[in-house]
Amino acid sequence: MSSAQPAFGAMFRELIELGVVEIDTEPLDARIERRLKDFWENTSCPRCGHTAVQTWPRLDL
């Protein structure tokens, strides 16, 4: 079974080189941040329904 791993690795590398498989190397946190920003910009306020949700640099506690 261990001999199948190098063969699989070589086949997988060939698929990548041919462009059949693409490996996305963007960090996961950047993806999440971008999706949250898109969601935030396109979401209305859950309390009042206003379409322009504002944020402040700090919270007044």
Residue 33 lies in a domain: yes
What's the domain range around 35?
28-56
Q: What is the pLDDT along the chain (61 residues), one digit of tens a residue?
A: 555 568 888 899 999 999 999 888 778 788 888 888 888 778 887 788 877 666 666 665 5
In this structure, is residue 3 part of a structural domain? no
Tell me the residue type at 44: S
Residue at 37 is within a domain: yes
Positive or negative CA dihedral for 6, 10, 16, 17? positive
Contacting residues for 16 by C-beta, under 8 A, at least 6 apart: 22, 23
Name the domain count of the chain.
1
**Measured distance CA(6)–CA(58) in Å, rounded:** 53
* This model's pTM is above 0.75: no
Q: Does residue 32 lie within any of the structural domains?
A: yes
18 found inside a domain: no
Is residue 43, in this structure, part of any structural domain at all?
yes
**33, containing H or E segment:** helix 28-41
